[in-house]
Structure 1
Amino acid sequence: MIVVLQRVSEASVKIDGEFKAEIGIGLMILIGIEEADGEEDIIWLANKILNLRIFPDENGVMNKSLIDVDGEILLISQFTLQASTKKGNRPSYIKAAKPDIAIPLYNQMIQVLEKDLGKQIGTGEFGADMKVALVNDGPVTILIDSKNRI
């Protein structure tokens, strides 16, 4: 499971021209799920996301977590994060999980984040053509791969 998280001052997602979700200060997260992912990846990533100290403290040092700043989350599924570009010029998505695997894992990630954060998070819609807008604060952008946790 791969996530790209961006510290934002605001973010939103539109589907068919309608706002699906909007957040203020927090994290806009793109998540790519592969066939080999499971519950252990979700638990590990959720803990990392919520406790990663990337928000500024009173001295401007990145020393606070999303929980510390009472931030929000916008979680967007993005299978293209699983692209392989090793061969040729057309990305291969062979590692990307099919919807029957990816949707339940995406929904489980939503549930875990909401439970651990203590509030509802914003989401996109799995498989939809989405328009995502954000103001990257910092900018701070971090890539986390659950397969590189050991």
Structure 2
Amino acid sequence: MRVKCISTYPTQEQLEKLGDGFYPNQEFHLTVGKEYLAIGIQFEIGSSKWGTGAWIQLVSDYGRLSFAPLCLFEITDGKVSQLWVTRLWEDGSVSLWPSSFYREYYHDDLSEAVPEIVEDFKKVMAMIEEESLSY
């Protein structure tokens, strides 16, 4: 799945749809007009951090795995990765991520540059990128 950034922050209307649970002091480190590879997607309902809506995982302009509301993008290629695995969480949210991303503390370990996780992330990214180019 590829998306093109159309805005770096939700509009007032989008904020209303995201709801009170959306944490307003977030920065997403995106560039309008730039295309990004979606590494995963999640659907949130009344989350205290995310609010209500669809979010994608991507590599931000800072080179880090990040989340951003899907409303900031136009979908340019809607084909999803075969590597994505679906999970229903206790709070009712749903995620479709590469299976290794579900490992406990994966995202924390990646941000702390744990070598095993960094290596896995590079491998997963390469596979998703190759897969998206073959569509």
TM-score, normalised via structure 1 length: 0.27
TM-score, normalised via structure 2 length: 0.29
Higher relative contact order (CA 8 A, sep 6+): 1
Max Rg structure: 1
